[in-house]
Structure 1
Amino acid sequence: MIARILVSACLMGHAVRYDGVAKPLLHPAIERWRGEGRLVVLCPEMSAGMPVPRPPAEIEPGRTAGAVLSGDARVLEKTGGDVTAAFREAAENALALARRTNCRFALLIDGSPSCGSSFVHDGGFRGARVSGAGVTAALLRANRIEVFSDRQIGELAARIEEFGS
């Protein structure tokens, strides 16, 4: 059985980001993995019923995705709405899909309060970045799914080679 890769839908050209656009990732490895049947495409937020477009959302200032998952922090929209429950549901949906489809890896868009794997925004809606993960990325990692950002496709390709299937 081949190891599959959960991929952010926006990286595959789907216009599902909060602002209604896509961030297509064009790379020969993507085409190879598509041909091998490795890719499982999902927008976690859409899976939780969030609309497109939707207001920008960020994890509360000074808090982490782990705190969101444990119920000790919130994900807030720029408009003030609390979307914590939707982001937690999105993460659970992504984990359930990854388990059902044998995803050992995830390739997620960085910077998102859901999919960010090396940085997220600081919660102040100023565009400032902080090191950290989004809610979905954190839950996947906590469940031993290796998460890579869209800037780490080479590292993901190397891990898949090491994995051997």
Structure 2
Amino acid sequence: MILVSACLIGLKCRYDGTNAFCNELMDFLKDKNYLPVCPEQLGGLPTPRAPAVIVGGDGFDVQKLKARVINEAQEDVTFNFLQGAKKTLELADLFGVERCYLKERSPSCGVNWVYKKEGLSRGCGVTTALLLKNGYAIIGV
């Protein structure tokens, strides 16, 4: 089983109500079992929603409660991001996920790049940090 950011397979769940469909990924997945997830929706955020950034670190720091996730309306949505990460991990464990393909630059799913207060920066998102901490192999798309 492969866990995939839902926006990458065409579901309109990104903050702005769009998707990030990836033809190459869908070609790869065509004969495989996969589980689409949107951690931000799993954490209770609506679509569309105000874009959010990590302030004070990266996803690992948010997991340690040393950084926050703040949206452009200056609302603290850290709890939603943490809940979404936790629910994603629960699903990965339940479905026996072997690896994950997650959306780069997302404050939830970014693997190597994530939006922070300073702009696009090196680091990972909140969900990615929790999955990595729990031994999951993750590839950024």
The aligned residue for residue 144 of structure 1 is: 135
Structure 1: which 5+ runs fail to align?
Answer: 151-165
The aligned residue for residue 23 of structure 1 is: 20
Larger Rg: 1
Q: Does 1:82 align with 2:73?
A: no
Instruction: Name which of 17, 21, 29 aligns with 1:33.
Output: 29
Instruction: Name which of 36, 42, 47 aligns with 2:37.
Output: 42
TM-score (norm 1): 0.81
Distance 1:32 1:59, change over 3 A: closer
Indicate the percent of aligned positions where both proteins have the same amino acid.
35
C-alpha RMSD of matched pairs (Å) = 1.2
The aligned residue for residue 56 of structure 1 is: 51
The aligned residue for residue 3 of structure 2 is: 6
The aligned residue for residue 108 of structure 1 is: 102
Q: Report the Cα distance in structure 2 between the residues aligned to 1:56 and 1:32, rounded to whole angstroms.
A: 29
Q: Report the Cα distance in structure 2 between the residues aligned to 1:19 and 1:56, rounded to whole angstroms.
A: 8
TM-score (norm 2): 0.95
Q: Secondary structure at the match of 2:3?
A: strand
Deviation string, structure 1 residues 18-63 (Cα, Å, up to 9, x no partner):
0110010102x634534232x1111111112210110010000x41
Q: Give 1:146-161 correspondences, 5 Å limit.
A: 146-150=137-141
The aligned residue for residue 69 of structure 1 is: 63
Could you tell me how far 1:82 is from its partner in structure 2? 0.2
Deviation string, structure 1 residues 103-134 (Cα, Å, up to 9, x no partner):
1211011000000001011314xxx3110000
Q: Secondary structure at the match of 1:103?
A: coil
Structure 2: which 5+ runs fail to align?
Answer: none
